[in-house]
Amino acid sequence: MRLGVQFRGQVPGGTSRRWFTHSWPEDWRVVWLVVPTWPMVDGAAQIEWKVQVDRQAAGLIKYFIEIRNLTGGPVDIEARFAVLN
């Protein structure tokens, strides 16, 4: 298994942002996890995300990651991946 951080960013309060990451081999089984890194709040969920996929070329996959901030203030995020095979 391979683990890593693909990107970091910030999502303003009450909005969504969309990122993409490309040229992933089609035979890799990739799982995405988005984690808030700031502010540190022990309470309700701060973010939610969804992943969409595009066949970019023969043998390559592009992922679109949309992150929605559920709070009223900005939230810093980290998009992490795990390649399972």
d(CA 61, CA 77): 23
- Complete DSSP assignment for 23-80: EEETT--EEEEEEEEES--SSS--EEEEEEEEEEETTEEEEEEEEEE-SSS-EEEEEE
**Which helix H or strand E contains 20, and what residues bound it?**
strand 16-25
How confident is the model over 65-79, as pLDDT tens digits? 999 999 999 999 999
Residue-level pLDDT at 22: 98
Residue-level pLDDT at 23: 98
Mean residue pLDDT of the chain comes to 97
